[in-house]
Structure 1
Amino acid sequence: MTEIIMVKEYSSGHQPQIVDLILNIQQNEYQIPITGEDQPDLLNVEDFYQKGAGNFWVALHGDKVVGTVALLDIHNRQTALRKMFVAQEYRGKVFGTASLLLNNAKAWAEAKSVDEIYLGTTLQFVAAHRFYEKNGFQEIPVDALPENFPVMQVDKKFYKYNVIG
């Protein structure tokens, strides 16, 4: 296998690996009591994410899905960053998987004339907080979110990124 990570748009053939990757991280690494049934978006990526200014991408190492990221179009030239997950062995600077995924999403947002990207995350994802902050996201209070932002039950910390400027 090559050391290169490729970022590609979601296709249905990726779905089983995506579900396995995300559930493994949520349940086994962070002990979040969540199931696939609690996340119907994972079973219907095309209709949920791949419309308007939204999309879903996978990071691939060969044929193996090692990361995911999505932008959900929440209208008003705003998106929600969702499903940012990277397999443990592909985190960090060696592969740069998270940066590849995030930069891909940012470039997409800019090309789609999105003004702002918002995200919610759990308090447990401390390394993710640092990652987002290093990549230009500013922490905001929950009441600064747009009214159409879909707050997930587990999300307790929120960020905003200004796409241009």
Structure 2
Amino acid sequence: MEVIVIEKYREAYKNEVIDLILDVQRNEFQIPITREDQPDLNDIPNFYQTGAGNFWVAICNGKVVGTISLLDIENNQAALRKLFVNPAYRGSHYNTAKLLLLTLIDWAAGHKIEKVFLGTTEKFLAAHRFYEKNGFCQIQKEKLPAVFPIMKVDTKFYYYRIIVNRRMEFPEIL
């Protein structure tokens, strides 16, 4: 059985990360977005891996098959961004998205983040179900922190409250 390993982002993964994200956005969901529309992808260490933030990749057989990031937006709050999984690695067989999310929540709890917010597009229906199933609550745009970075494609918003000093346990997934 193939094993998914979650690792912190390294520059060696840059092109695979960009290719995966653009492929899902453009080819799967027909979102007219470019690499240039996402300057954060060209400088992941300085954009995401600062403060309490970080960026992770899911690796299978030496290839990037998923991504997730946590952007520190101050006041013990963060934004979940760039959760993308190769279609072949979605679902309960691999649990790639769940592993990525558990890594992010565990990291956030360990870095005193109390709330995680995210924005998504109406088109990502499976993502909406995933977030809701994993404890995220929908929130109105007006209730977001003023410093939350809204992307031009974001039309639906969620938040997750973390109980600080209580890290999530990683369940047996196999």
**Whole-angstrom CA distance in 1 between matches of 2:73 and 2:137:** 19
Partner-residue secondary structure (3-state), 1:51: coil
Partner of 1:112: 111
Look up the equivalent residue of 1:138 and give its one-letter code. C
Partner of 1:61: 60
Partner-residue secondary structure (3-state), 1:98: helix
Partner of 1:35: 34
TM-score, length of structure 2 as denominator length: 0.93
Identity %: 54
Look up the equivalent residue of 1:55 and give its one-letter code. N
**Whole-angstrom CA distance in 1 between matches of 2:121 and 2:152:** 9
* Alignment gaps of 5+ in structure 1: none
**Whole-angstrom CA distance in 1 between matches of 2:132 and 2:83:** 14
Partner-residue secondary structure (3-state), 1:81: strand
Partner-residue secondary structure (3-state), 1:19: helix
* Alignment gaps of 5+ in structure 2: 165-174
**Whole-angstrom CA distance in 2 between matches of 1:140 and 1:164:** 19
Would you say 1:158 and 2:160 are equivalent positions?
Answer: no
Question: How many residues end up aligned between the 2 structures?
Answer: 164
Partner of 2:69: 70
Q: How does 1:140-155 map to 2 (within 5 A)?
A: 140-155=139-154
**Whole-angstrom CA distance in 2 between matches of 1:53 and 1:131:** 24
How big is the shift at 1:19? 0.4
**Whole-angstrom CA distance in 2 between matches of 1:75 and 1:129:** 25
How big is the shift at 1:43? 0.6
**Whole-angstrom CA distance in 2 between matches of 1:98 and 1:139:** 19
Partner of 1:95: 94
Would you say 1:13 and 2:12 are equivalent positions?
Answer: yes
TM-score, length of structure 1 as denominator length: 0.98
1:90-130: CA deviation from partner (whole Å, max 9, x where unpaired)? 00000000000000000000000100000000000000000
Partner of 1:52: 51
Partner-residue secondary structure (3-state), 2:74: coil
**Whole-angstrom CA distance in 2 between matches of 1:126 and 1:78:** 25
Look up the equivalent residue of 1:36 and give its one-letter code. R
